[in-house]
Amino acid sequence: METAKRIDAEKRKGKTLGRLAGVCVAVKDNICTKNVKTTCSSRMLANFVPPYNSTVIERLVNEDAIIVGKTNMDEFAMGSTTESSYFGPTKNPWDVSRVSGGSSGGSAAAVAVEEAIAAIGSDTGGSVRCPASFCSVVGLKPTYGLVSRYGLIAFANSLEQIGPITRDVYDCALLLNVIAANDPRDSTSVSIDHDDYTEQLDGIIKGLKIGVPKELMAEGTDERIVKAAWKAIYLLEELGASFGETSLPNIEYALPAYYLIAMSEASSNLARYDGIRYGYRAEGTIWSDVFSKGRKIGFGSEVRRRIILGTYALSEGYYDEYYMKALKVRTLIKNDFERAFEAFDVLIAPTMPLLPFKIGEKITDPLALYLTDIDTVSVNLMGGCAVSVPCGFIEDLPVGMQIIGKPFDEELILRVAHAFEQNTSHHQRKPKFTNKINS
Ligand code: GLN
């Protein structure tokens, strides 16, 4: 409210305001906000108050956006449902008995029910696109290096990027304009000039070549979702694009490679939570007891599982067999995409292979849950960009489709997403559950 008042006062005085003046933005709780708790939805960090802002927050605030709240997520962004949060799950606004997707489920649900105009999430293996799809909003995973990760609490840093979650493609482009920038504080941040992403939203996709990866439209995906994706592709064809089938032959190894790499990096990144420098501190006087007890109580079971598996994959004797092999598979997958992009401008596939499922349905079966990431993880492995847009409803539940682009092709995938959105009405539909305060 204070920020809003300041912006109003400045406006009255005729001062030039930032590009996001007065826009309410919700922020995933793994992105550091100065003097505001940043918990990663973990007991380990339940009382952590960062003394600094992440670069993304700084950039938003500099443009006069208003940070209205921190959003629920899977603990340390590990999950696809937001059920692994220490604070409980985020329900799906379209059907509150179902999951909102994850791990940025709180961000997507907040945008869907209009608690915020836009939100920020992070995507390590699909965590922006999955909840965007399940909550019928737009979610972008930017190219690796385009958005600074400074102040994003690390889960698997070779894979993750911060990305916008919004109600439409225009807002998504607007937010990307603000957050995409070089940052000397993040050594993986790239230095490239980008145009105003909103200027590319001209509806023109004549001559565009769409590749349809057959592996992502195959068995294992709900047939009704495959149909919805094809319907979208035919619509884009009517708008002047052409399409053809393509293949990503190594994608069958994407999930094991992703989970090996993500867990290995997680085991290393999460070693810092020892309860001594910071993090949950258990009772005791012997260092090793405090350390192991604190980590047992502070971390939930999914986080512990990943630390153990990741430590195993990195241990002597197994490193070559697991971690190194996963890195090699990552290169093969990257090559598959490069080959596909020689013939096609963008690729289109469902975002999720299934509809939002019931809370509690899969959380006890980690492998079944990991399988739901099949359509999203390969984009993180190859480092390119992808945007998920609403593409229909099945039994009143949202379906999302992703438009995948080569590295730094955000302008193009947003243009295609916008052309599709402007010729459909899915994004205008509102969920049954709306925020009582607003309505
Ligand atoms: N669902 C994936 C996982 O659990 C992706 C998570 C993410 O993108 N943060 O690892």
> How many whole angstroms from 258 Cα to the centroid of ligand 1?
9
Question: Alpha-carbon distance 387 to 124, whole Å?
Answer: 14
* Residue of 103, 160, 357 to mutate, ligand 1, most atoms within 8 A of C-beta: 103
Cα separation of the two ends of the chain: 19
Supply the residue whose CA is at minimum distance from atom 4 of ligand 1. 79
CB atoms within 10 A of CB 235: 15
* Residue of 85, 373, 380 to mutate, ligand 1, most atoms within 8 A of C-beta: 373
Task: Assess contact for 334 and 358: CB atoms under 8 A.
Answer: no
The answer to whether residue 124 is domain-embedded is: yes
The number of domains in the chain is: 1
> How many whole angstroms from 76 Cα to the centroid of ligand 1?
9
Task: Assess contact for 357 and 291: CB atoms under 8 A.
Answer: no
Question: Alpha-carbon distance 141 to 418, whole Å?
Answer: 16
pLDDT of residue 433: 72
The answer to whether residue 437 is domain-embedded is: no
Longest CA span, the chain: 70
For residue 127, the ligand 1 atom closest to its alpha carbon is 8
The answer to whether residue 219 is domain-embedded is: yes
- Specify the amino acid at residue 87: F
- Specify the amino acid at residue 439: S
> How many whole angstroms from 437 Cα to the centroid of ligand 1?
31
pLDDT of residue 272: 95
The answer to whether residue 418 is domain-embedded is: yes
The answer to whether residue 335 is domain-embedded is: yes
Supply the residue whose CA is at minimum distance from atom 10 of ligand 1. 78
The answer to whether residue 439 is domain-embedded is: no
CATH code of the domain covering residue 53: 3.90.1300.10
The catalytic site residues sit at: 28, 103, 127
Question: Alpha-carbon distance 153 to 43, whole Å?
Answer: 15
* Residue of 127, 152, 307 to mutate, ligand 1, most atoms within 8 A of C-beta: 127
pLDDT of residue 439: 40
The per-residue pLDDT string of the chain (439 residues; one tens digit each, 9 = 90 and over) reads 999 999 999 999 999 999 999 999 999 999 999 999 999 999 999 999 999 999 999 999 999 999 999 999 999 999 999 999 999 999 999 999 999 999 999 999 999 999 999 999 999 999 999 999 999 999 999 999 999 999 999 999 999 999 999 999 999 999 999 999 999 999 999 998 898 999 999 999 999 999 999 999 988 899 999 999 999 999 999 999 999 999 999 999 999 999 999 999 999 999 999 998 889 999 999 989 999 999 999 999 999 999 999 999 999 999 999 999 999 999 999 999 999 999 999 999 999 999 999 999 999 999 999 999 999 999 999 999 999 999 999 999 999 999 999 999 999 999 999 999 999 999 999 997 765 544 4
E strand residue ranges, 4-142? 24-28, 66-71, 91-92, 95-99, 118-123, 138-141
Q: Report the interhelical angle of 169-179 vs 55-62 (nearest 10°).
A: 110
What pTM value is reported for the model?
0.97
Ligand 1 pocket (Cβ < 6 Å) reads 77-80, 103, 123-127, 155, 262, 373
Write out the residue range of the structural domain in which residue 321 sits: 19-428
For residue 78, the ligand 1 atom closest to its alpha carbon is 4
Report the sign of the C-alpha dihedral through residues 255, 81, 143, 343, in that order.
positive
The answer to whether residue 438 is domain-embedded is: no
pLDDT of residue 435: 59
The answer to whether residue 13 is domain-embedded is: no
Residue 135: its H or E element: helix 129-135
For residue 104, the ligand 1 atom closest to its alpha carbon is 9
